Structure 1
Amino acid sequence: MTVTHINVVTDDDELIVTWRGGSPSLSVFVSADPDDPGTDVRAPDAPGRTVIARTARRQYIHLFEPEQGFIVAAERCLDMDGADNFRDLGGYPTAQGSHSRWGRLFRSDRLDELTADDQARIESLNISTVFDLRSDGEVAMAPDRLPSTVRHVHLPMSSDVAQQRSMLARIIDGTLVKFDNDDMSSGYLRMLEGFGDYFIEVINEIIAGNRVLFHCTAGKDRTGVMAMVLLGLAGVPDAHLLDDYELSQQYRRPGTDSPFREKIRSAGFDPDDFETMWQSPRAVMRLTLEGFQQRWGDHASYLNWIGVSDETIAAARAELCTTGFD
């Protein structure tokens, strides 16, 4: 019986792994490598469920179903002391019948508060390149704290929708009287129109076989657009692009919006008129995808439009996607 709907969640010091389907012959392998199941193998604790003790090193769960082969899963959001929205973009199904590969592509919020333990975690993930999408001012004010083994590449995807401080000034001086889902999605479409060269640079790094992390400050706007482009390139359907975007709302640091809400209120405005600024509602990415389809049609057409050839798309997919169910 085919294994589907694998889910890995954290419960204190344990990983709870659940799935649907599978035969009595199914085995569970646990390793620190998304591509190698290793030799730590066990039987499930119960049909469709097993519990695994967590370790300091990231763990990948390899379910082996004899009629299907290996199916890999892991926690979506990684534990970091100095980042809250650090996520692995593996495990999403694609239109080609494969999945995005775990351990290849990561997204995050700000990295300027990473601890020494966080830096060690990044090294253990074998991430070779970090693409910093923040503005020049953001980088100067709060430079990334990265291990020396990681190359830092600055790609400033400057946009008014992504920089709350500049928008706050416009709210206070009365030039911005509201900010809603339409405004945010329009800003995302401007990023898609204006930063094709940046997307190409990240795609080329992926084709080179390197593990990549990209981030901005909140990890939802500039980072969300980059994730949409790369997962779309991999062939991930729009429904899962919406899921991935919306997850930032779940993992964002509690209270990060409070200073902005208070300043807006103190200036005599209603913060609720601007709440899209610090949220990641599903409707924003849905509007973005609708505008994207009206403008370019599909992801391949968009990539061609910014100068990515069909051959390059195929090469990037080969790096980003599994073959079948492995």
Structure 2
Amino acid sequence: MLEGASNFRDLGGYRNRHGRRVRSGRVFRSDHLARLTESDRQRLADLGITHSLDFRGTHESAATPYALDGVTRVALSIEPTVVARMQALVSQGIVPTADDTVELMRQTYRDFVNHNAPVFGRFLTHLLEQPSPQVFHCTAGKDRTGFAAVLLLSALEVPPAIIEQDYLLTNRLYRRDPQAEGLTPVHVREVLWQVQPAFLQAALHEVEQRHGGMTAYLHGPVGLGPGQLLEIRRQLLQD
């Protein structure tokens, strides 16, 4: 849908467990927006997008900054901890196996749940406070963005199987950055550049076992009040 960004898509169109459809044209997800073409910028303007919600860490944002006319960028920084963990292993002379890398990703998703809930709370609150089309993203639009999408669709009562389906679309839509080709072994990149059900299940297990389920998690660590949860459904679900 965009030339200079991949993994861009509308979260609208899914039906929730009551048969109500998520509104189209309101919330979009993407990878980073620093390489958009002029036609891409016009496309975002045509969609009416007013805010970009950026989950990238401080260094990532500084390395690939962007500014879009008519779009306010909101920093919701979550540092890419899997990179730091990978570097720590390499500094010890350890080359992670594919299984090691999967477990690093699973731990990253557990951290999303247990350490980054307030950031995701600000994300959901911003959608409530700015009822206009918005796009949210990180660098690849797959992990931080993917979990944010999971929380939003869960708040809208979309069935888990459909939520996982949207999550896994990244494997079809994300275009890998050729500049990162030589930075890690091939078997590590094959894990890092994709999403797996195991990553998502690690997060959902934490939500269930440590926080009492998704509704309790949204009300507790994420910080949405009952009225806010009802309001986000009112705004983003068709009648």
Common fold: TM-score over 0.5 = yes
Q: How much does 1:229 deviate? A: 1.0
Partner of 1:315: 231
Q: Matches of 2:171 and 2:234 in 1, distance apart? A: 30
Partner of 1:185: 106
Partner of 1:121: 43
Partner of 1:199: 120
Confirm whether residue 229 of structure 1 aligns to residue 151 of structure 2.
yes
3-state secondary structure, aligned to 1:264: coil
Q: Which has the higher strand share?
A: 1
Compare relative contact order (CA 8 Å, sep 6+) and give the higher one, 1 or 2: 2
Label 1:180 to 1:101 Cα distance change in 2 as closer, same or farther (>3 A).
same
Label 1:124 to 1:192 Cα distance change in 2 as closer, same or farther (>3 A).
same
Q: How much does 1:273 deviate? A: 5.1
Partner of 1:137: 59
Amino acid at match of 1:278: W
Q: How much does 1:258 deviate? A: 7.9
Amino acid at match of 2:32: R
Q: Matches of 1:273 and 1:125 in 2, distance apart? A: 37
Q: Which has the higher helix share?
A: 2
Q: Paired residue for 1:243, among 165, 172, 177?
A: 165
Q: Normalising by the residue count of structure 1, what TM-score does the alignment of the two structures yield?
A: 0.66
RMSD value, Cα = 2.1
Label 1:275 to 1:257 Cα distance change in 2 as closer, same or farther (>3 A).
farther
Structure 1: 4+ residue segments shifted above 6 A: none
Amino acid at match of 1:87: R
Q: Which runs of 5+ in 2 are unaligned?
A: none
Q: Matches of 2:7 and 2:120 in 1, distance apart? A: 21
3-state secondary structure, aligned to 1:180: helix
Partner of 1:268: none
Q: How much does 1:176 deviate? A: 6.0
Amino acid at match of 2:28: F
Number of residue pairs the alignment of both structures matches:
234
3-state secondary structure, aligned to 1:213: strand
Percent pairwise identity: 31
